[in-house]
Structure 1
């Protein structure tokens, strides 16, 4: 077999997808990885691998829940839910600003 034949066979196998998922092949990089500041990537990766969920994620979920409740609330409930939502949004904004400015957990 010549080098050209081997190269052709390799290109054909790659086109058929035979090399996808093989050991030693690099995994695709998460698209959001580049948006994470370089100094936070390793800590976030370690925490993620340990199964730790950042409190901000729980806050985002709580915010979505409050927004859904607010959409279905009557006038009496509305004021209470709006206040809780405003407090939560302020908490989220302060935390995200702290991460942006200080770039630490």
Structure 2
């Protein structure tokens, strides 16, 4: 999957810092990251969210957004009929996200490619 310009800049800066030794000897080096930080979850929702997380459940919108990112990655690497299948999958996910009111949060790439994807699908099935 292609990196955005921001991701590329971040990766480059991290690589330079590693090469210069600027990230050596930091607290916690060599240990896994603690990813259970729930400070951004409202206090009244933390217990419920923890139960859902520990049981393996995720909100529908998170699941859909994860599927969308996966579909975008497959589309970037696909060719031929596989690419057409990936485009169909991506379009179906976009429709579901739009119906759930979440399409605005999926980025400029969709706005750029949606007309092309729709036109291509219409050509093949129109």
Higher RCO (C-alpha 8 Å, min separation 6):
1
Structure number having the greater helix percentage:
1
- TM-score where L is the length of structure 2: 0.40
Whose radius of gyration is greater, 1 or 2? 1
